[in-house]
Amino acid sequence: LVVIPTSAGIVAAEQPARVTAGARQPLVTIYGTGFPPDEQLIIEVVGPNEVIIAMAFFPSGQPSRTGPNGAFKTSVRTAFNVTLDPGLYSLQVTTMSGVGATVPIVIS
């Protein structure tokens, strides 16, 4: 998995991700490969206190499935009207068959 902060639909390389309170952030673009083909994706962020935060696909037209070769590129942000506090998080991607990967993200 590769996770890149995104701003206003533009993929940016700014690290760590910077967020605006109340803006359902961060918005990130995720690239993944090595997953089963044509499977639904479940993307979540796990906080330092082990709380799991669901991520929604943004915009809604973004792919929510792996492609025929098991790769994908999609953009997500928090599914609810929350902004993640600064800290170290894990972003996890899981397919419906249970295949998954995790990558650390830092928010400042």
How many angstroms separate the CA atoms of 56 and 24, rounded?
Answer: 10
Give residue-wise pLDDT tens across range 70-84: 999 998 888 887 777
Q: How confident is the model at residue 9 (pLDDT cuts 50, 70, 90)?
A: low
Whole-number Å distance between alpha carbons of 57 and 19: 18
Q: Tell me the average pLDDT across 34-56.
A: 92
Q: What is the pLDDT of residue 14?
A: 58
| pTM score of the predicted model | 0.80
